Structure 1
């Protein structure tokens, strides 16, 4: 296993393997990705120049069903990162008992530096390059960091052009008018909210006595912050890539969302700008936010935000990971020693892939559900799996992260072992 992020992610697997009775064959197969694809994507820019972008798609495991995972556009996208994300998706899908394997994709770029027309050409070029690698029964795409339903619509349309047939099931998170599911765009944040509401009472934390900080104010962070605010929780701080704001009396999340949508960042939300009516909010950095004395910290940005370097400064009592991989394995050990429970990413942010599954099912059946039906199904499935993870953690005396991997490993192991193991082939019966 090469690559620091993937090596760190794999440590979670090694720890959980001690508590499961899966075969040696299954454990070995889960240490390596099944397929990895690197592609070059030529794009004619608006000024007539030609640029080549690097893209990736990794299908980590498809024992339980076709690969499933998002596509992210970000300057730091690398094969190591995409492989790690596909690894996490494998266990996330198994944990939620979805009939999918794990996959992920990405393109290395700053999407904010491209025009909409250039982004469309790039997105369609990516599908041209990986078309033989994906499909409704092979590997299904979805939005991720800096991709959205419009980009998913371009990708689905391009795949359909290549296949010469309408293929809505190859992509989830697409526009509703193109076969998308209602509730998918907000599913990650909505699912995280359902899980917080179900788990916090175990610690006697209720809306009236719980303060929170949300790092990352993209789609998922924005949705969970707004739902928490509406439920009566006090959100003291939020941040995006440009910085954050803090108010010990609590932030007015709906007003902040309106400003964010109008100005595309939180940077202007101070009294020396034009929005003094938003209150006396203090400017803070992302690093400051992670160290705030709140009850609940919600990292909803990128990987490796809580590390060995800053884990001792975390003052939150509980952490709910909405981002993928925001806590390193070294930080996990520090937080555990300090008695800070970490609800893991593969559970907390699983709302997105769960509703992606619902969308895929709707595409295949041609029957579409209301947003109330989608959210009810999401809440039922996510809370049930969270309760299972909680019971496993109590039973084995392990962290919630290890408990989540134990649950996922048991399901993956059963599927892998069904294809035959060393013990099966060595037996004389």
Structure 2
């Protein structure tokens, strides 16, 4: 039995010297989801969806997104991905996702979100732990949960703890914790995890940090955070792309200065760029001559039509489903490994559950140290299997996710 105050075994992946992983072409999260729910807003006609792919100890986790055109199949794919993320990090929870087909900029958006959550309240009360996602911020969710009298969007897990008030206080302290430069840990931990995946890959291949070059597609929360932490670590981020195009400098960009030029839509003000920064087409980032390519913007950014342009030695997926299956197969044939999204971008999800379980608290150093250790260990294992057995990193990650899922099958998070 596991409570919200006890560690969960099986979340660490061993590094060189560990037994070989057992590879399989079967995805560990394959199969039909446990539950699909659809909802129609009686006021606006907006459609909403909840897909619970798996429950572990009666719980599933996954954010709620809002965007025009959101579909049930999209939410189902994301729920499946969440099941993989939680299994990859040995978290004692299943995967789920919520989605609403509505414009988050519409002044009625918060009311739509409130009605959606009210309809899904039985799941939010007992099983589904949600958080921010595309078009939905954590403050939006906090306001809705306050309206519903549920306290916080982690409610379904918090209510199972030994001491609900103490656990809620710890979660709130963690969510409001800031780094030394006054950035919320919750906002940057995901990008930090991606950066650690890049640094772990460089370390596994014995690349010198200062000589390693990176191209990042996306300057939002994930892409911007990744670029910032890689720059801080000493890697050369030579290209970064937003919706308006790619910015390039062969000697490395001044990432902190560029990120300060972003507007509310995560676009960099071109009128204030240094003179030595080149402005290239948006898709040029994919073809950048860099050691590491980090697609951190949209799904299916790497596809058969542009895969031949890639010059990087490794692709590190920060966006969900950044590479199509066919494109990944083509990259594999060229000897270019793809580190999969469900490991690379799982930092935020893993951190939230470490916070819930009491593995980390309000001290950012504890959170960053744990994520760095776990991410680099997983990357080291994937790189080792790629180097010695030409096993795709995705297959290796499937294998340790499946092993973790089996180990956690009988775990229970509850009050004894």
Normalising to structure 2: TM-score of the pair? 0.81
Matched with 1:264 is: 265
The secondary structure found in structure 2 opposite 1:61 is coil
Contact 1:150 1:175 in 2 (8 A): no
Q: Secondary structure at the match of 1:407?
A: helix
Per-residue deviation, 1:392: 4.7
Is 1:19 matched up with 2:8? no
In the alignment, is the contact (CA less than 8 A) between 2:294 and 2:318 conserved in 1?
yes
Relative to 1, partners in 2 of residues 1:239 and 1:405: Cα closer, same or farther, differing over 3 Å? same
Is residue 376 from structure 1 mapped to residue 379 from structure 2 by the alignment?
no
State the shift of 1:395 in Å: 6.4
Asked if the contact 2:210–2:234 (Cα under 8 Å) also holds between the matched residues in 1, the reply is yes
The aligned residue for residue 251 of structure 1 is 253
Which residue number in structure 2 is paired with residue 121 of structure 1?
Answer: 111
Who is 1:210 aligned against?
A: 212
Deviations 1:249-282 (A, max 9, x none): 3221111111104x5343531xxx3x14x33333
Name the counterpart of 1:156. 145
Tell me, in whole angstroms, the C-alpha distance in 2 between the residues paired with 1:63 and 1:126.
Answer: 24
1:34 aligns with 2:34: yes
> How far did residue 336 of structure 1 move?
0.3
User: Where is the helix percentage greater, Structure 1 or Structure 2?
Assistant: 1
Matching residue of 2:395 = 402
TM-aligned CA deviation for residue 326 of structure 1: 0.5
1:303 aligns with 2:299: yes
User: Is 1:81 aligned to 2:61, yes or no?
Assistant: no
Given that residues 198 and 383 in structure 1 are in contact (C-alpha distance below 8 angstroms), is that contact kept between their aligned partners in structure 2?
Answer: yes
Are 2:289 and 1:293 aligned?
yes
Gapped regions of structure 1 (runs ≥ 5): 1-16, 43-49, 419-429
The 8 Å contact of residues 124 and 155 in structure 2, kept in 1 or not, is answered as no
2:61 is aligned with 1:68: yes
CA drift at 1:177? 9.1
**Superimposed CA distance per residue, residues 153-208 of structure 1 (whole angstroms, 9 cap, x where no aligned partner):** 2243234x2x5x67753499x99995553322211111112222222122232332
Alignment of 1:27-426 (within 5 A): 30-42=30-42, 51-63=44-56, 66-111=59-104, 113-115=105-107, 118-135=108-125, 138-159=127-148, 161=149, 163=150, 168-170=154-156, 178=172, 180-181=174-175, 182=177, 183-261=185-263, 264-266=265-267, 268-269=269-270, 273=271, 275-276=272-273, 278-362=274-358, 368-393=361-386, 397-413=390-406
Deviations 1:106-157 (A, max 9, x none): 222332x324xx332232222112111223x511102222332222322432
Distance 1:171 1:310 in 2: 43
- Provide the TM-score with structure 1 as the length reference: 0.78
31 and 58 in structure 1: CA distance in 2 versus 1, 3 angstrom threshold:
same
Of residues 294-303 and 391-400 in structure 1, the stretch that sits farther from structure 2 once superposed is 391-400
Contact 2:59/2:157, CA 8 A, preserved across alignment: no
Give the 3 Å change call, closer, same or farther, for CA 107–63 of structure 1 in structure 2: same
Q: Deviations over 1:58-108 (max 9, x none)?
A: 110113651111122223421111111111111111111111111111222
Larger relative contact order, structure 1 or 2 (CA cutoff 8 Å, min sep 6) = 2
CA distance in 1, matches of 2:57, 2:201: 28
- What SS does the corresponding residue of 1:186 show, helix, strand or coil? helix
SS in 2 for 1:184: helix
What do the CA deviations read for 1:281-325 (whole angstroms, capped 9, x no partner)?
333333221121111110111211111111111111111111111
1:421 is matched with none
After TM superposition, the structure 1 stretch with the greater mean CA deviation from structure 2, 285-294 or 224-233, is 285-294
Q: CA deviation at 1:244?
A: 3.1
**CA deviation after TM superposition for structure 1 residue 415, in Å:** 5.2
Equivalent pair of 1:297/1:318 in contact (CA under 8 Å):
yes
RMSD: 3.1
Q: Contact conserved, 1:69 with 1:102, CA < 8 A, in 2?
A: yes
